[in-house]
């Protein structure tokens, strides 16, 4: 019932939470194990935005250098992509640190039409080796991947060659069990 009541709200379970709930519903985890796994989780945000002014290559390098310095200090990892006037970024780390950084990004004048694709706990860091990975990617490929991620449906037939975009799909694709969560009705 709680899952049904929160559907479409900020309280609705995200991908990892739905996965854990599916395991709980199948009797594979106890509620205490679910809580423990959530306590150990990494907070992740995936967003995209449009730039207010097209950055030069030097601007992107400066942004990347600043991000890496900040992220080392706050133990944040992630990925920043730039494509035809659009940023796509993943941030992961302690919830308070990621939320604080994301709030700064949301106020940053370099961004407009910012869309949060996913925000919530995850089982692990998907970009642990990247204090802030960076890549230029084709606009059409970014649109295709973002559309697929926002649709929250399996993407078995989606062909993605770019390793950065493949990493996004692997990290934020729908887990097969996550779609199986049904509203829990108290007895």
d(CA 124, CA 171): 9
| CA-based nearest residue to 44, from 6, 23, 15 | 15
DSSP character at residue 122: E
Q: Give the list of residues 6+ apart from residue 119 with CB closer than 8 angstroms, or none.
A: 14, 43, 44, 45, 46, 102
Residue with tokens 């929250």: 152
What fold does the segment set 42-175 form as a domain?
Alpha-Beta Plaits (3.30.70)
- Answer left, alpha or beta for residue 69, where phi above 0 means left and psi between -120 and 50 means alpha: alpha
How far apart CA 187 and CA 24 sit, in angstroms, is: 16
| Total-model pTM | 0.75
CA 88-67-132 angle, to 5 degrees, is 60
Average pLDDT over the chain reads 80
Task: List the structure tokens of 133.
Answer: 């990975």
Asked if 109 contacts 30 with a C-beta cutoff of 8 angstroms, the reply is no
Helix, strand and coil percent figures for the chain, each rounded to 5: 45, 20, 35
Instruction: Kindly state the DSSP code that residue 55 receives in the 8-state scheme.
Output: P
pLDDT digits (tens, 9 = 90+) for 94-136: 999 999 999 999 999 999 999 998 888 888 888 887 777 888 8
pLDDT in tens, 31-70: 887 776 666 678 999 999 999 999 999 999 999 999 999 9
97/1 Cα distance (integer angstroms): 32
> At a CB cut-off of 8 Å and minimum separation 6, what does 135 contact?
79, 80, 81, 82, 162, 163, 164
The pLDDT tens digits of the residues spanning 71-83 come to 999 999 999 999 9
Domain boundaries, the chain: 1-40, 42-175
pLDDT tier for residue 22 given thresholds of 50, 70 and 90? confident
* Residue 91 to residue 102: CA distance in whole angstroms: 8
């Amino acid at each position: 019932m709680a899952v049904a009541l929160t559907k479409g709200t900020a309280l609705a379970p995200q991908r990892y939470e739905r996965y854990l709930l599916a395991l709980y519903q199948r009797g594979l985890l106890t509620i205490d194990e679910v809580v423990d796994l959530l306590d150990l989780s990494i907070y992740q945000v995936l967003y995209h935005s449009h730039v207010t002014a097209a950055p030069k290559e030097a601007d992107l390098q400066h942004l990347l250098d600043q991000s890496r310095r900040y992220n080392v200090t706050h133990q944040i990892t992630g990925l920043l992509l730039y494509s035809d006037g659009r940023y796509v970024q993943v941030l992961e780390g302690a919830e308070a640190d990621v939320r604080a950084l994301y709030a700064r990004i949301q106020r940053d004048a370099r961004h407009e039409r910012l869309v949060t694709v996913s925000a919530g706990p995850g089982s692990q860091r998907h970009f642990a080796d990247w204090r802030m990975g960076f890549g230029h990617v084709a606009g059409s490929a970014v649109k295709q991947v973002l559309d697929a991620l926002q649709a929250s449906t399996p993407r078995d037939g989606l062909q993605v060659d770019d390793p950065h975009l493949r990493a996004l799909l692997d990290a934020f694709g729908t887990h097969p069990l996550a779609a199986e969560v049904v509203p829990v009705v108290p007895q």
